[in-house]
Structure 1
């Protein structure tokens, strides 16, 4: 008997080992962020490498799930086909919360059955052992594609970031060209992308197109030309506002060398690609004087780009001690708005702020006279994180999404009335009725009945008090540039569920990027282990991240953030100078009425009246003085904006826009475009902003009946015909 039992146990253990060995068919590598650097709650690139010991092709899906904030867990999936003995790379983009403990990776076959599952620990209380290292609001993150030449990789040790929050660190996250993100969202967390003479043959056209899309959405890129010329069909070459000439040797002027922070006593000769301005550009680039046409700065859409048309590695060795000064000045010329006339016309106290990076950051030499001496303590924020301007503004936008009658707390008087009624029925009423009927022994039965009745009544009573149909609330901002194909949209949406169920969205564009979003505390500590219990399932493919399923619990609001490029703007505007004033023609191309609007210049503004749907209206008016770059929130206005705690100077809106407009233009997904617009304003450029009345939501909920409350704003950057004098 003993031998039989032993044999059976051995067979069971052996069978279990064989089964386990059979399941282990895959292995996956996991690389996240820009060399491990990321900004919490923002899009972050992920590179997955899958290998297998299978002997035949395998078709399935890879799913990555991780907590993206305090409430939501984002699960992104992508289909793939794996060939035997061939490694397969999957490029994903996801969001990760600060202090997210782990991520889960799952491989399923084409029938949806899990074939492989692993959890990867991402957080450790020792910063050196963390898979992801958080970049804070006062820090600058520079992405690098290509070789880090001429001391570029030493910037974290020799430079610092300065902002209204004080001095922060500079991080350089390098990435192989083959691993560069395939979607524009992979670059969102960067302050600057440096394309330092990469081998363009290693970059696919989709990767370069993603970089161009990110720039038009408010990104900033420094392109360094060298041994690898831009291919003729490159989307980036078509997007930049310069023509690149044939290479030739150039002896740099001493003034140019001094301007770059190098030693002007040294004679420097380089092989460069001279730049010339393209004709017919809506926003012409600028070639820095005295640089032999080897440095250009300009705009692409709402973003900025700079081109250094030679390889700085050609400088003599005597300049190596000044590399930090060279890159600091070059990066500064790229991220600032010095080419905009609005900088020169701004008040002195905000001129430096306008010239800073999109989030109020600029780079300086560590210990320079322009900033605090010394280096910031890198361990000061190892276990805590302060949210930034965009997330603070998003908190206020979500307050609007949650302003539902169904979400209001029940009055305490209903609770008092219910308990008092139950006490009266169980006490005096039950006693006197049963005594009168001579049925007092039945008090246990009547008490149970009263309790059951009140339990059922309380359940259905709460449903009656909080009764209401399903409701969709949304705030959408559409931004565009006149006479161009540059258009972007951001939508904050909240779906109130009257019952627990899985909800599906319809009418989605394939290029939309969806994620959850939740209100955040001003300061987050690593010890706060939040559950991220709400699951959001998305399929990521073809330049989009679309929700497949949204499980929403009863009487809760699931808030969502969507970003995409619309096909066209819902209105067009033509501005011209007439009789010392403004002549404005607005064509409303949408099916919704324009309720109100305004025109913003660098130092003045004017209001617009209503415009019916599918109609054109002309206005003749004079502008009034308006200080765009001043304190956004007055202590007496009662308006709440992101300036309350953000410690950053932001442009403000005229009083005609109030409420959620105080924050939506500065919220996540809109801030970079807002600052890109406003730093472009001058006497020849204006922003036309309108608000639509009862515009349809950008999506629908499948198979549901619900109420819609949608606010839609649209802004367009417009060139004034013939220039303009302001009154």
Structure 2
């Protein structure tokens, strides 16, 4: 009997081991994840989730599920996949970091709902909202860039490099938006799939910073998408001694982050990108580490293999004996920087100051590596501002004064009044009847007040914020759809999108709101888009946000020139079939309100020097209203008038430039942030590059396929806000 049990246990163990061997299930959460808790995620940013499944057993249809452990909120994603025998499936999708220290559970289920594999309690390494994050695709294991180690003990403020792989590289450009920059060795470019290359190019044009180092010239010439991005054509390799040129360039990093010096936003041509909203050091402070570095004599005397070539466009940041070493060129709203040498080869690989080279190239102020960490805290989510613009006006909040009056009356009735009344009629024992009656009366009164204040018809309001990224006659539309849903009953509503890159999340409340999301979102990912059923409590309003991008015909073409007198001339052509209104142009520190643009023929506007309003004066009152609305929107009581904002063109210009003016320095004043927001939403970096911004209002319209609602609401609105970055042609006198 004992021997039979032993054989049975052995066979069972072998069966379990065989079943485990038949199915390999790995989930990688965050940038640079190896499947453990090492993936890197930035606060209030997008990040990739990659999954790899190998099925060596019988064929079955599976459902992949990833869910957050955040109670009452967070995100859940499901995806149906087919798993034939002896197949390996890889897929990835973007997720939003709506809370700090999040934990995720991944499951693989079959069609009967049986769990076939799990990965539980998946965690990530969280970075602060301002902290610089560089992704790396080196050609060798030791070729990954690195930053200097900060002397403070705040790991969330340590500028970080995440090792990426081509196999897990995202095919959705939104998943790359948590990166400040990406380093790419040219040897990796030929391995990219078409969808991965398209995602990378779109990310750059939408504001990303790509740093490319050549390994072989044929890597570039044989990869058309990469060759078209680069501002340099290489033709030969020549050995040259640096002679201290690189050391001196690093020392110039002492000016980074100062007011009037290098920019604190990403990316600018002269000083490639810092984190969005990154605070500057006060003028006159010493950035120290860059200027105190000791020279490496062995490196300066060694011969550095330099790729020579022709600079097509852009600006030479650093040259050696007339040969460019670092060249940067704008691409749409983003930036491409090319190194004319390989940082993965000797002598650069052994250079003692190479970590500071990467910090200088990425434009990180030296104070980020100092002894004391920044005391940064708080910050309202910019979602609250958009919510205040489109939230239903049917709901009102009870002023706190009336709440206090109601409380005083209630206490007075159940206490002194009840005692006086029963004593007067000499029926004190009736308190067992009167007290429940008072409770019922006031309960009905409170319900009636709530009904009068909050009851209404189901309402759906959409605001589409669309960045137009021109590609010749075509364009890529990078959109953010903000949708407010008010429910007249406890109900579930269906939301969906057919755009391949579309995502869905609920409102991010920000650090000041508890570092979480407002509601749980469960979405089923499709080949093109997603489907979701969202639950909204009775008489409540919830905000949902969908990020997306799609190719389309350019809705608005622009051309901005400067004549010898310094006067700007803007030519616009509205290529839509309807009039665009609320036209605003921001250029050279001034805001110009230009009215409307009819469809069809080009229209030219002249912007005289000194005309328009100063940008700081234009933004200051609006930004203060945004802050007040965001604070009051989270309160349960209070007057509603102060928390609503009208989605006017002026307000949308201001929210698109939230880092400028008084809000731009909010993170320096006592360490308290004003707002936090995902990368790409703020356009202040465009102005700091010397370009102009054109805004236009398309009322009552939504981009094709951008509307989310798959239900009919008695009340609804939709509007679109177009945003374009425009270079200035001509230098004037």
The normalised TM-score by structure 1 is 0.71
d(CA) in 1 for partners of 2:180, 2:484: 29
Residue in 1 that maps onto 2:634: none
d(CA) in 1 for partners of 2:456, 2:15: 52
Residue in 1 that maps onto 2:677: 668
1:57 and 2:59 are equivalent in the alignment: yes
d(CA) in 2 for partners of 1:643, 1:240: 42
Report the Cα offset of residue 443 of structure 1: 13
Residues 644 and 533 of structure 1, relative CA distance in 2, 3 Å threshold: closer
Residues 139 and 559 of structure 1, relative CA distance in 2, 3 Å threshold: same
1:565 and 2:574 are equivalent in the alignment: no
d(CA) in 1 for partners of 2:485, 2:106: 28
Residues 605 and 44 of structure 1, relative CA distance in 2, 3 Å threshold: closer
1:305 and 2:336 are equivalent in the alignment: yes
d(CA) in 2 for partners of 1:642, 1:204: 47
Q: Any residues of structure 2 matched to 1:193-592 within 5 Å, and which?
A: 193-227=182-216, 229-230=218-219, 232=221, 234=223, 236-252=225-241, 254=243, 256-261=245-250, 263=296, 266-278=300-312, 284=314, 286=316, 288-290=318-320, 292-316=323-347, 320-332=351-363, 362-364=364-366, 371=367, 374-376=370-372, 386=377, 392-402=381-391, 404-409=393-398, 412=403, 462-463=450-451, 465-481=453-469, 484=472, 485-505=475-495, 508-522=498-512, 534-540=519-525, 542=527, 546-566=530-550, 567-576=552-561, 581-590=567-576
Q: How many pairs were matched up?
A: 626
d(CA) in 2 for partners of 1:644, 1:496: 19
Residue in 2 that maps onto 1:42: 45
Residue in 2 that maps onto 1:706: 714
Residues 590 and 180 of structure 1, relative CA distance in 2, 3 Å threshold: same
Q: Which runs of 5+ in 2 are unaligned?
A: 1-8, 33-38, 251-294, 423-429, 632-646, 659-675
d(CA) in 1 for partners of 2:79, 2:353: 46
Q: Which runs of 5+ in 1 are unaligned?
A: 1-12, 123-130, 333-361, 365-370, 432-441, 646-654
1:113 and 2:103 are equivalent in the alignment: no
Report the Cα offset of residue 39 of structure 1: 1.0
Larger displacement relative to structure 2 (657-666 or 35-44): 657-666
Report if the CA contact (8 A) 1:158-1:324 is conserved.
no
Residue in 1 that maps onto 2:25: 28
The Cα RMSD (Å) is 5.0
Report the Cα offset of residue 82 of structure 1: 2.3
The normalised TM-score by structure 2 is 0.71
d(CA) in 2 for partners of 1:641, 1:61: 43
d(CA) in 1 for partners of 2:170, 2:652: 33
Q: Any idea what SS the aligned residue of 1:609 has?
A: strand
Report the Cα offset of residue 224 of structure 1: 1.1
d(CA) in 1 for partners of 2:97, 2:564: 55
Q: Any idea what SS the aligned residue of 1:208 has?
A: helix
Report if the CA contact (8 A) 1:160-1:167 is conserved.
no
d(CA) in 2 for partners of 1:524, 1:505: 26
Report the Cα offset of residue 169 of structure 1: 1.7
Residue in 2 that maps onto 1:695: 701
Q: Any idea what SS the aligned residue of 1:46 has?
A: strand
Report the Cα offset of residue 134 of structure 1: 1.0
d(CA) in 1 for partners of 2:629, 2:308: 43
d(CA) in 1 for partners of 2:337, 2:522: 38
Report the Cα offset of residue 222 of structure 1: 1.0
Residues 86 and 706 of structure 1, relative CA distance in 2, 3 Å threshold: same
1:184 and 2:173 are equivalent in the alignment: yes
Residue in 1 that maps onto 2:132: 140
